[in-house]
Structures are given as structure tokens and as C-alpha cells.
Chain A
Amino acid sequence: MTKGKYLTRRQLFGQTTYGIGAAALASLLCPDDLTASASDRSALGAPHFPGKAKRVIYLFQSGGPSQMETFDYKPSLKKLHGTELPDSIRQGQRVTAMTVGQSSFPCVSSSFKFSRHGACGRWVSELLPHIAGISDEISVIKSVNTEAINHDPAITFINTGSQQPGKASLGSWLSYGIGSECQDLPSYVVLISQGTGRPGGQPLFSRLWSSGFLPSRHQGVKFRSASDPVLYLSNPPGLDTSGRRATLDALAQLNELKAATVADPEIETRIAQYEMAYRMQMSVPGLMDLSNETDDTFSRYGPNARTPGTYAANCVLARRLAERGVRFIQLFHRGWDQHGDLPSALRLQCDDVDQPSAALVNDLKERGMLDETLIVWGGEFGRTVYCQGNLTQDNYGRDHHGRCFSMWFAGGGIRGGVEHGETDDYCYNIVRDPVHIRDVNATILHCLGIDHRRLTFRFRGLDQRLTGVEEAHVVRPILA
């Protein structure tokens, strides 16, 4: 009865108001509070059509992994190694400020061996033996492309649909569109790890998981490996859980007294949000505590899985978040930016992610969750066929390349074993089935039952959408 005393805005207008005054009908977390059911809290209410996936784990490889050393096998480059990239291939493509002064653009063949894997016979580099082992589970697009050539615009583009700051991120769109499925965690969680392939690599920005113009409760919440996994989660020293409970009870009483005199529905929302905060305090430490994971799990995810803050530990956490129903889980692994010393640095970087990424897919499969969890693996762009810096016997580097790069997908909605798109002999241009990063985002939404053209939010007079005003197409050949 206490919760029903006051008319909330939700009861009145559902989601019709926006922007100012659209005060917290739903919470950043999903809800039991107030009156609405979970599906009622999202913009769409229900997906446009039944999606295969209920959630996404996005393994973002920040910095730009080289497609030529991972999934885009180019035996043709052996012959071309050391020869100049012809103008007919480069076609006046703009290059970054880092190589614009280079007088020579010699092609480099990968120094790593490739072999075929799985029933599908996929070529995968020796750097990724574990991911090679799940070849039949994953679908690789080798023709992803973007216009951006520098990290900041490129990573902003793929995560928010625009190279310029200010738009809403993919995870925020999902939270806004179809809400959350869990009771005590945010619908969009971000986990960050530092690569060993290039320590102190390219920076990240909170705008990558920002809600932009969407209500800020849809923003990604960064979970950290530090003492407070969620900022300000822990009670101050000297106030224990029961003390906090007592203060929150008193606070709720005080706020109820206020609500009884002014009837502002915001007060009821605030009371509910303090309860939600308490539930987070209760649940997040358990979520982050991996001590009840088995030795077998740790050995599958690899030696780093016991070290908080590593990519491997974050993969274990991703599974735990998925189990608890978090809608969008995004890992950012820094350090994929091998401008120089690629052969040695990329080996380290691939070691960071190979075993844990594959383990995550297998783990979800064994737990029967893979069918409803979409896994996405990729970065903001690829790397150039031509060498950055001096090409020597055993060393080379590669600059940023947006015209083609590889990403892989697995799980909910994805048909395993597919390869989509093809690049030319130089691995420079796409010769078949180009997939723009807008198409990638449209496809991700599709897997969750969302038509990217119909998930919109009115801002500055426009119906904004993740894929923007340009056309975007769902990549159907990779779909189950």
C-alpha cells in the first residue's frame, strides 16, 4: 500500500514525456519498485520481433587489431612482401599523420603461420589457438569498414554511431529500448582491462558508454577491479551494513513524511532508488567475488583469470553478469595499437584475450546460455598492409586502416562457422560484401529483436537513432 499511495508519472503517461521533467520513471536499474512491470519500463515495451539474443557481451578490442595477423589470411602477400603498395590499390586513401610523411609504403606479409580449423575449415593465425578452437561457433566478418582513421573518432563512431561526441552508446540504446532483466544491477555494465601488447595504449573516454541525449539512467556503469567495484558503493569506514540499513530506514521514513505533504512523485522514486542502491551494495560484492568459482573454471579462462582487472578475470565476470541478467556487458581491452614492434607486441596482446574469449563462449554454451547471449569481438578499425616505420627482417609495424577489418560474432542469433565478406589480395580494399560499422550495429540490434530504424529518441527536433541518418543493413548471412 505504501507504494501505491501516490500517482506516479508512469501511471500517468508511461514514456511519453522526455528530456526535462522526465524524471526517473524507471530507474537506472531494473525494477520492482513502484508499479510498472519490467517490460513497461523500456521505450519499446517489447522488442519489435522475437530476438534470438536476450543480452550482449561485447568484447571490445580497443586500438585496432590487425586483421592480417588474426583472421584475414592473405597468402597472396608473401609474394608482395616488401613491394610498394600500388597507387591503384591505395586510390588516394588518406593516411594518418603518423605515416603521411613516409616516402615508401612497402607491403608486409604476416610473420605468423595460419592453419585451418573446425568443420568449417576456417583459417586462423597461430596467435589465437583457442579462438581457432571455437571456429564452428563463431561467424567472422572480414569486410567491416569505417570512415574514421584515428582512434578517438573511430572508437566513438563504432560505439555511438557518430564520430563526433554527444550521441548515445549502443549499450544505452539497448537499455533504453528493451530495459533490463535483473533486479539489482544496472542494465549496462562496462569492464576495462589493460593490454600487455602496448601498456599505456590508447585512452578510453566515458563518452563510449555515455547515454548521450538518452536519459542518464541508461548510461553504462563501469565496474572496477578496485576496492569499490561501483564508484562509492562501499559504506564509509565505521558504518557497517546494519548501520546503513538503519539509516536507510530512517531516511525512508523522513522522505515518506515529506511525500505525504507534497505528493511529488519524485520523492517516491527517490525512496525506491535508495533501496536499489542498497540492493547493489548487497549484490555487487558477491558478484565480484570469484572465490566460489571452481579451479576448473579458472584453468579454462587461463592463468590471469584469478587476477582482478585482467581481461581474463573480466571474462569470468562477464559470464556472472550475464547469469544475473545484465542486458549489455561491454569489456574494453586496451593496447591493440601496434604501430611498431608488431610481431612481439601482438603476440602478447593476443595472449591476453585468446584463451579467455574462447573460454567464455564455451562456458556459456555449457551452461546453456550461449543461445541467448550474443558475443561480439572486435575493435574500432584494422591495420594497414603497408609497413609503418622500417621494415626489417623480423620487425614491422602497421598503421590504422578503416577500409577493412575483421570482427567475429557468436551465440544468440548467429550461425557459427560462417565467413562473410572478402578483401583484395592486399587486404586493403573490400571486394565482396562490405559491412559498414552501421551494419554491424544494426545487426546487433536485430539479434535482440530490434529494428534499428524504429528504435528512436526525439532530440533537438530529430528522431535520433543509433545508425544515424544513413542507410544500414542487417548482415543476414551470419544470422542463424
Chain B
Amino acid sequence: MTKMADLSRLQIIAVILVYGFGVPVKAAGHAPSIDEEVLFNRHIRPILSENCFACHGPDEQARQADLRLDTSEGVLAAITSGSHSASTLMDRLTASDPEQKMPPAESGKQLSVHQIDVIRQWIDQGATWQPHWSFILPKRPPVPIVANETWGENTIDTFVLARLRREGFDPSPAANRATLIRRVTLDLTGLPPTSAEVAVFVADTAPDAYERLVDRLLASPRYGERMALDWLDAARYSDTYGYHEDYHRVVWPWRDWVIHALNNNMSFDQFTVEQLAGDLLPNPTNSQLVATGFNRLHGMTSSGIGAEYRVENIVDRVETTATTWLGLTAGCARCHDHKFDPLTQQQFYELYAFFATTSDPALMTGEDVNLPPVVEVVSPPQRTRLDQLDGETANLEEQLARRVDSADADFVRWQADQDPATNLYLSADATAHYTLDDIEGRKALNRVAGGPSGIIHGPGQSRPGYIAGALDFDGETYVDLGDPWNMDRLSPFSYGAWVLAPDNANGAILAKMDDENAYRGFDLYAKDGHVEVHVIHHWPDNALHVKTKDPVEANQWHHIFVTYDGSSRVKGVTLYIDGQSVAVDATYDSLSGTIATDKPLHIGRRNPSGFFTGLIDEVWVYNRQLSHDEVAQLASQNRVADLLAMPAQQRTPEILERLRAYYLENYDRQYRQLTRQLQQAREDQAGIQKSLPTTMVMGELKERPDVFFLNRGQYDQPTHKVHAAVPEWLPSLPAGQSVDRLALAQWLVAPSHPLTARVAVNRFWQIAFGAGIVATAEDFGSQGQPPSHPDLLDYLSVRFVESGWDIKAIMRLIVTSSTYRQSSRATPASIAADPDNRLLARGPRHRLAAEMVRDAALAVSGLLVEHLGGPSVKPYQPAGLWREMVNATYEQDHGAELYRRGLYVYRKRSVPPPNMTAFDAPNHETCTVRRQRTNTPLMALVTLNDPTFVEAARAFAQRLLTEESLQHATPHDRLRTCFRWALSRDPVAAEIQALMQVIKRQQDFYREKPAMADNLLSVGESARDESLDKVQHAAWTVAANVILNMDEFLTKE
């Protein structure tokens, strides 16, 4: 044991001696080999950044001695090119006087002798300065020439091999075919291959077999699901708002958009532009709007100061955009100039300005609702039905018009039949009609049969009304109509009355409103002689409000009526005076929360304020939106009887027209039938519209507000105005277009941009190899790790852009390289030499992502339900988790939803799914472009005991025991199949032996304790094949549980 450990240590020392620091295990101090030129970026900058930039870098406030070492001028001021002995920098680095010595002791930083040597060498070689590598536009690098080499499928391999040779390594042999198909299937689809797929590939000896396999995988719809995983992390995708009570929102249509875009191989530049600025494209499609959900996915709070959280939301967008596309850490510059990268605080707020003119609210409403702007998302079948209904309504409207033209004879007949004394009402489908004629018992009778009657409170007396009696609302009187009403913001409704108001009248004509709950509800309100309508969730930030432009004539009877179409928009509110819609001013037009309240509907008062003074008569309430005509009818109803009584010669054409309309609406059978059909078609349309999910999207304010620089990043310390701009050390914005998010997005994907393509291909590389060429995928700045293969990164970036940002092409290039196809087998010596496999002398081997662990178990067990897209699902979760944290109940799904892929599992930020968290799924509170990959006992507990995995083991066992071809198989044969299904290979004898022991032991156990078998077989909701012997099934379930926990099952290798 001791000897072995000593040997290991010797090996390490040997490796270090041979390879120097060439293996970039650490970020800084990466030194040149002896014959190599010392390069500022590769060798010097990391040393300066780590040790000097904090005080001698970009941050002007923190800068000491007016010296900066991150610019050419700054460095040249501290050195004499070609002569280290004449360079102040060297004097200070090597000083023995602690007063002179740099870095100062209190900084805790210290340069190694070797690092000082490298700097000395660089100065003596002429001290050529370079701008930071990632800010220089990548050019297609010359492909290195590696003598006498046959290894390598494509250019990637030449770059990798050149480095391997330089460091004295050999590439590994190719992985065996079964391992390879498993690796590439997991990487490109997130699922293991089936045993049949493995068998086909292993047997396919054609030279292009692997390429055809890759093409098949890239064409699979599972590819989009796999690739979306990483993008969801970057986008901090979550089904909830995150803060406080962590309310629900509907943003999965954005996730669907991502999956489809990736499957359709949307080019990365378009993918970028649509997500960052789809709303600003000319005539954006629904899909382009949905894409902008990317920047609505940050957390939101309902409790807090709006101005403060507005800033937080925008900062989140800047940080997320910077990390995802630029690979830069922008957040530091919110409060001060960046300490390591050239991003100044001013430049931060110039980037901030791109996102600071959007129309989304700063705070959420404290409800499970989407916040504007939103768009409805129409599925293809819904689109078909809607188009069909459009046709139907057009047809019916045409038939109606024809009927109107042909109804004259019937109209004349009807007139002749009328008794002019008939009191005509249109109350056929009204919800309520209070005539207020008879106030016996202080009751307001409802003329609609079965409808609720009201109770009159206060001393108000009956007065002559517009029709018969009216009630005098004297400022103390109101009518309580109870709470059997079910209006809400998504349902159409209409209401109003005849009103005789005094001068400058004030008060509620009709209201169902809770003053104390931020005026939630709706009303019809007299305000200084004008009439207003409020439809309110939370006044004033979440409400609709319209007010007549002109006052309504006082001391005259007027019919005042409002219709609402359930659209939650001001344009859906129509205010009528005397049957004519009138011009209104709209002051608030943002409604997203419920307007339902348990306060009663009142005539003459809100609750408790807003008493009305004046006379009110004939109150109507409809649970639908009346048409213009219908309102006009309602306003003129009383006159119908008078008109009919009129001698024919006195009737003007206009009067005749009104009578005719009245006849058609109420008596003409054909017209009425068509109307009913039309109404039905419209209701169907509305029904579909209402059922359509909305998703949150970006929108710009019409008038863009001024944006300010914030001192120390504080929302309440604005100093000076800033204008949207990009840092001058990066390329310029596209010329000749407005400076907005669209320009920013197009700038990111301009071929002249040095960062975007590098950052993107690095993440694609990370998918395949487990780590990027730049290991710090989130930081391409001065403090990030330098690329392990800088030329390869540039080559891939240039190729990516030249291919038209073709993601599938770049993935194809990566996974068809020999580098990727190498065996991942290592030896202790090769691990010691390059523990993180930065040189790529072997293939990738690492544990699967959380979602893929779940998916693999479901897939091999046969439980997996593959359904592309749709709302998030709630599979098994230990009871009470939400309750103990956030006062909410987790309502677990049943049936197929239990077996969907991991990326569809509901993500609640405050209580993320625990079996995913255990496997390092980020909680998505902030942008993540690189997951941790840890190895803990909590993971073991999940795959051993979580019902998800126990049920998968049970189903896997059932699959093995019911497989037709295994009906007469020995247990050994069965285990062979089991390994093929789960691990894509055959077991070795020792493996069979280990598992047979478990099976035999458990068979004995369950034979003795059949109830225990029952217990085990009851885990999970999927049906069990009751024809199976329980002892067998339970014993094999335990064996399957072991296999689903094998390192190899949890690992891509």
C-alpha cells in the first residue's frame, strides 16, 4: 500500500518534470516550452491578471499609482522592451524591500520564481503586447503539419494531435463500436441506444456506417430535446417566478420553441436574433415573438419596490446575455469598472440601456398568472379549427345579410300583427334586469326568472323613472345584489342602466369592487359628470380604465351602458351613451390578474366607498358581450311600442329601420336562428382563444424612457443619462439602423464579432467532451482559463460562422472526429499525467446529467413516454416538500405524464425537484452555462430508493421476464440481454456471478416472505403483469435496481 502510494507520487513528479506546466491544470502560469516564443496572451496576461489587475487594471477607482498593466501603453510604461534589467516591473517583482516588492504582501498574492522568469524572458524577447485573445477576431488558423501521421478523421484531429505530439502523448485507440454508439447516442439524443440499434451498428462494416449513424441521430426529434437541456440552463428556464411565494407561470411554449428550432437546425444567428429581439423584427411571426421569452425567464417578485426590481430584472438580462453570448462576466461592472476585463461601469449601463426600454412590469402580481406582454400560442390543430370557424362565421354573416335583405314581407306582416300596447323587453338572455319600479319590502325585483333579487339599503325613495318608477340614490342608499355573479377578466359581460344624474355627478352606478383589495373588481362610475369604467385586478398597475372624453349632460335621462369582451384589454371595453358608443380616454391598459372578488354587486355604491347621487332605473346585466345593435335596441326599447303606434306616414326611414331591426332580432325565425348559429361559432372561437396558452414575451415601450447610469448600481442613485451602445473594444453596431435590441442581437452574430462564435462552439464542444476548450465556459475574459487548443477553437469558430452558423454541422464535425471516437479507458499513469483530459489523449468519460440519468432509467425499463413538447409535468416527489417550504401543494401527475423526459419536469425555483438537484441540475435562479458534476451519497440514495428508479427497475425486470425471445432462456441468458439493454454490451462472467448471487438470495428471501415481494412490486403507478411470478419478478427487480446504479449505467464513456 505504502509502496503503491509512493510510486504514484513518483509518477506525478516524473510527469511534472517531463511536461513542465504545459498541462493547463491551473488557469494561470501556463508557461512556454523552451523553444517557444513567449506570448503575452498565452503566458503573461494570466500572471498579470491574477496578481496585478485588481489594483493595476481596468477599474479606474481601484487603480494604484496610476499604473495599469492591462493596456499596451500601461505595460510599456513599466518596462523597457528588450531589457529586463532596465524594467521597473522587474525591479518591483524581484525587490527584497517589502515596501517595494510587488505584489504587496497584504494582497496575499505571490509570483513564483518560474513566473518571474517567464516575464523576464518575454521582456528580453521584445515584450510584444497583445490585446486579450478572445477580443481578437478569430482567423482560420493554418492547419498544423504533423509528420508521418495517419491518425485522424478530420481537421479537429490534426490540431489535437499536434498538441499531443508536442507534449509527448499518443492518442488512444478508437473506442469499440458498442461503446461508441452508446456515447454518441447519449450525446446527441440524451438517451442510450437500444440493443437492436447497437447490434445493427456493430454489424455495419461499411466505411460510412458511423457517419450514417450520426446523421440518423441528428435527424431524431430527440436531438432537439437533448440540445435544449443546456440552453434551458443558460436561459434560467423555470416554471415559477422564484421570489417570495414563487408563483406559477406558463413559459413552456418558449421551451417548445427551443426544441423545434434545434430540431429544425435553425442557424445559430437566427436562433440568437429571434430570442433576443424577435419582437423587433419586421412583422414578427407568432413563433418569433414566442422566442423572445428567453429574456422573460428571470425571477420576479410581487413584494418590493418597483423601481428597485425593474433594475434587478434588467441587470439579470444583461448578465445572462453577456454570459451566454459573450462569455463575459458583466455583473461586476454594475457597481464599478470591471477589475479584470475592460468593461467599464459606463459601458455596462450602455448595454443595460438595450434592455431598459421594454414594457414588461417590474413586479408580478402575487398570483399564478403570466405578466404582459404575452402572446397566445396556437397549436396546428387549433389553427385548423380556428380557420374553419373563420369560414363559418363569414358564411353565416353573409346569410344573415341576405336574410336582412329578404325579410321585408315578413316584417310588414309582423307589424300588422302587433298589439301596440305590448310592453316589449329584450330580456331573453339577460342575467338580470332590475326595473326598480316596485320597491315593496325594500326589494329590487329581478325580471329575469330565477335571477337574484336585490335588497335596498338606506332611505332612498321611489321617484318617477324613465320607465315607470326609479330609485332615488341620495348618497346613502344602495342596492345589494349579492354575490351569485361569476364575472372575471376572461369572460365577456355587459351592464348598465338609465340614469338621471345631477351636475358634476360622482359615484358608482353599478360596481362589484373591493376597495380594500386594491379596488379589485369592476364598475360603472360617474366622475365629475363624466362616466368611467374600471376593470381591476390591482389598482392602478394591473387594471383597465376608460373615461368618456365629454361629460354626460346632467339632469336628463341617459342610457349608460358598457360591454366587455373578456380580452383584458381596453379595446374590449365599449362605453355607450343612449345606445351610441362614445369616445373615451384610456389611462390604464394592463390587466393580467383575476378581477373576481367576494364582495356583492351593488347598484349605487362600490364597497365600501363611492355612493352615487341621482336616479337610476332599468338596470341590465348580461353574461355576454352585447353587440352595438343590441345596446342600441336596449336604449330604445321603450320606444318600440310608441313607434308601432305611429301612423305609417310619420315614420322616417330611420325609424323604420330601427323597427325592422327590432323585428329581426326578436321575431324573425330565420334571422334568429342564423344569429344563434353565428353566436355559437363565435363562442367556439372565443373558447379556443381562451384555452390557448399564453407565454411571456418581450415588447418595447412606445415612448422609450430615459435610462440612467446608477451610482454603485443602486436603483435610487441615478446620475446621468446613458444611451444604448456596445463597448468600443468590440466591433461597432451595424450601421444605419436604430440602436435597439435588434441591433444588439445582429451585432452579436455579425461575422466580425470575436466572441459569439467561440463561446457557442465551446459549449457545443463541452456537450461532447464534458469540458470546453475554454474550461470556464462562462468566462472568456482575463480571469477565465485560456483555451487548451486556441487554434482549434478559432478553427471551429470560423468554420461555424462560414457554415452559416450551422449547429448540426458543427456537432457532426465534433462527433465524427477521431478525437471524439477515442477510447476513454485510462491508466493510472495517464490519469496522473492529465487528470482532466485537457490534452484529449483519450475519449470523454463522465457522469450523465440529471435529466439523462432519469431518461436512461425510463428508457431501458420501457416506461419512457416520448411526447415532444407541451406543459411541464409533475412526476413522483416526496410528499409535503412544497408545503413545508412555500405553503403550496404539489399535485403529482398520473399516467403517461409520470414517464416523460427529464427536461419536461416542472421546475419550481424555491423547491426544485430533489432527485434532479441531487444530480447537480441547477436551480435555474441564474444563468448557468456549465454544470457541476459532483459525486455524493445523496445521488446514490436517489437511484437506489426514489420510486422513479425503483419502478423503473420493476418495469425493467418485467420487460426481461416477459420478453418473447427469453421464454426458455437461462438466467444467464437473461442477464446477457439485461446488460445489452442497459449497458449496450455483454456481461463478463464475474458480473453474471455477482448478479446471480443477488437474484438467488432475493428469490430465497421472497419465497420466505411473499408479502415483501408484494411490497416491492407495488412501487410506482404503472400496471404490473399479474401473470408473472411475484418471487421471480421481485428478485429480478432488485437485480435491475443494481444495474441501474452501476457506474457504467450512470456514465457516458
Which residues of A are in contact with B by a Cβ distance under 8 Å?
1, 4-7, 9, 11-13, 16-17, 19-21, 23-24, 27-29, 35, 94, 96-98, 150-153, 164-166, 192, 194, 200, 202-207, 210, 215-217, 221, 224, 226, 228, 230-240, 243-244, 246-247, 250-251, 253-255, 257-259, 261-267, 269-271, 273-274, 276-277, 280-281, 454, 458, 460-462
Q: B1038 on the interface (CB 8 Å rule)? A: yes
Give the interface segment out of B415-423, B779-787, B813-821: B779-787
Closest chain B CB from A199 CB (angstroms): 9
B824 touches A262 (CB 8 A): yes
How far, in whole Å, are A28 and B926 apart by their CA atoms in the complex? 23
A6 touches B1017 (CB 8 A): no
- Given the interface contacts A203-B886, A207-B925, A461-B340, does A277 sit within 8 Å of B1013 by beta carbon? no
Which single member of B303, B779, B911, B1045 contacts A150 (CB below 8 Å)? B303
- Given the interface contacts A19-B930, A243-B1005, does A236 sit within 8 Å of B1019 by beta carbon? yes
B910 touches A215 (CB 8 A): no
B998 touches A247 (CB 8 A): yes
Q: B933 on the interface (CB 8 Å rule)? A: yes
Residues of A contacting B911 in the complex (Cβ-Cβ under 8 angstroms): 205-206
Q: Which 6 A-B pairs have the closest CB atoms?
A: A238-B1016, A461-B783, A24-B935, A238-B1015, A237-B1015, A277-B937
A257 touches B991 (CB 8 A): yes
How far, in whole Å, are A86 and B304 apart by their CA atoms in the complex? 24
Which residues of B are in contact with A by a Cβ distance under 8 Å?
1, 4-5, 8-9, 11-12, 25-26, 108, 242-246, 299, 301, 303-305, 312, 329, 331-332, 339-341, 716, 770-771, 775-776, 778-779, 781-784, 824-828, 830-832, 835-836, 845-847, 878-880, 884-887, 909-912, 914-915, 917-918, 920, 923, 925-926, 930-942, 944-947, 950, 988, 990-991, 994-995, 997-998, 1001-1002, 1005, 1012-1019, 1034, 1038, 1041-1042, 1045-1048, 1050-1051, 1053
10 new A-B contacts, CB < 8 A, other than A28-B934, A264-B845, A273-B935, are A1-B1, A9-B835, A11-B9, A19-B930, A21-B933, A232-B918, A273-B940, A274-B940, A281-B941, A462-B332
- Given the interface contacts A19-B776, A166-B925, A207-B925, does A7 sit within 8 Å of B832 by beta carbon? yes
B832 touches A203 (CB 8 A): no
Which single member of B303, B937, B945, B946 contacts A276 (CB below 8 Å)? B937
5 A-B pairs with CB atoms under 8 Å apart are A24-B934, A206-B911, A224-B884, A274-B940, A461-B781
A20 touches B778 (CB 8 A): no
Which single member of B770, B826, B1038 contacts A262 (CB below 8 Å)? B826
B941 touches A232 (CB 8 A): yes
A460 touches B994 (CB 8 A): no
- Given the interface contacts A9-B835, A150-B304, A276-B937, does A216 sit within 8 Å of B4 by beta carbon? no
B25 touches A232 (CB 8 A): no
Which single member of A152, A215, A251, A253 contacts B990 (CB below 8 Å)? A253
B998 touches A165 (CB 8 A): no
A20 touches B1042 (CB 8 A): no
How far, in whole Å, are A16 and B1051 apart by their CA atoms in the complex? 24
Residues of A contacting B784 in the complex (Cβ-Cβ under 8 angstroms): 461
How far, in whole Å, are A280 and B332 apart by their CA atoms in the complex? 41
- Given the interface contacts A97-B304, A207-B923, does A5 sit within 8 Å of B4 by beta carbon? yes
The chain B residue with its CB closest to the CB of A233 is B941
How far, in whole Å, are A17 and B942 apart by their CA atoms in the complex? 27
How far, in whole Å, are A96 and B408 apart by their CA atoms in the complex? 67
A12 touches B832 (CB 8 A): yes
Residues of B contacting A210 in the complex (Cβ-Cβ under 8 angstroms): 923
- Given the interface contacts A12-B832, A258-B1046, A267-B1047, does A237 sit within 8 Å of B1016 by beta carbon? yes
Closest chain A CB from B561 CB (angstroms): 33
Which one of B11, B920, B946, B998 has the highest number of Cβ atoms from chain A below 10 Å of its Cβ? B998
- Total inter-chain residue pairs, C-beta < 8 Å: 296
How far, in whole Å, are A206 and B912 apart by their CA atoms in the complex? 8
- Given the interface contacts A250-B997, A257-B988, does A234 sit within 8 Å of B1047 by beta carbon? no
Residues of B contacting A200 in the complex (Cβ-Cβ under 8 angstroms): 887
B885 touches A205 (CB 8 A): yes
Residues of B contacting A203 in the complex (Cβ-Cβ under 8 angstroms): 244-246, 885-887, 910
Residues of B contacting A240 in the complex (Cβ-Cβ under 8 angstroms): 1005, 1012
- Given the interface contacts A12-B12, A232-B878, does A250 sit within 8 Å of B914 by beta carbon? no
Which one of B246, B299, B936 has the highest number of Cβ atoms from chain A below 10 Å of its Cβ? B936
Residues of A contacting B26 in the complex (Cβ-Cβ under 8 angstroms): 16
How far, in whole Å, are A329 and B1012 apart by their CA atoms in the complex? 37
Closest chain A CB from B1030 CB (angstroms): 10
Which one of B836, B938, B997, B1045 has the highest number of Cβ atoms from chain A below 10 Å of its Cβ? B938
Residues of A contacting B341 in the complex (Cβ-Cβ under 8 angstroms): 461
Which one of A153, A165, A236, A264 has the highest number of Cβ atoms from chain B below 10 Å of its Cβ? A236
Residues of B contacting A11 in the complex (Cβ-Cβ under 8 angstroms): 5, 8-9, 12
A232 touches B942 (CB 8 A): yes
Closest chain A CB from B881 CB (angstroms): 8
How far, in whole Å, are A35 and B4 apart by their CA atoms in the complex? 12
How far, in whole Å, are A226 and B885 apart by their CA atoms in the complex? 14
How far, in whole Å, are A263 and B886 apart by their CA atoms in the complex? 45
Residues of B contacting A276 in the complex (Cβ-Cβ under 8 angstroms): 937, 940
How far, in whole Å, are A31 and B860 apart by their CA atoms in the complex? 34
The chain B residue with its CB closest to the CB of A244 is B944
A97 touches B303 (CB 8 A): yes
Which one of B933, B937, B1046 has the highest number of Cβ atoms from chain A below 10 Å of its Cβ? B937
Closest chain A CB from B672 CB (angstroms): 52
- Given the interface contacts A19-B775, A97-B304, A273-B935, does A35 sit within 8 Å of B5 by beta carbon? yes
Which single member of A20, A194, A255, A458 contacts B1046 (CB below 8 Å)? A255
A461 touches B312 (CB 8 A): no
B945 touches A235 (CB 8 A): yes
B1053 touches A262 (CB 8 A): yes
Closest chain A CB from B972 CB (angstroms): 16
Closest chain B CB from A193 CB (angstroms): 9
Closest chain A CB from B55 CB (angstroms): 14
Closest chain A CB from B270 CB (angstroms): 29
Closest chain A CB from B169 CB (angstroms): 16
A21 touches B771 (CB 8 A): yes
The chain A residue with its CB closest to the CB of B246 is A203
Which single member of B923, B931, B935, B1005 contacts A266 (CB below 8 Å)? B935
How far, in whole Å, are A276 and B939 apart by their CA atoms in the complex? 11
How far, in whole Å, are A261 and B936 apart by their CA atoms in the complex? 23
Residues of B contacting A454 in the complex (Cβ-Cβ under 8 angstroms): 108
Which single member of B244, B246, B941 contacts A151 (CB below 8 Å)? B244
How far, in whole Å, are A261 and B176 apart by their CA atoms in the complex? 14
A250 touches B998 (CB 8 A): yes
The chain A residue with its CB closest to the CB of B714 is A147
Which single member of B8, B830, B884 contacts A192 (CB below 8 Å)? B884
How far, in whole Å, are A4 and B836 apart by their CA atoms in the complex? 20
Closest chain B CB from A201 CB (angstroms): 8
A19 touches B932 (CB 8 A): yes
Residues of B contacting A96 in the complex (Cβ-Cβ under 8 angstroms): 303
B825 touches A263 (CB 8 A): yes
B770 touches A253 (CB 8 A): no
The chain B residue with its CB closest to the CB of A97 is B303
Which single member of B884, B909, B1015 contacts A194 (CB below 8 Å)? B884
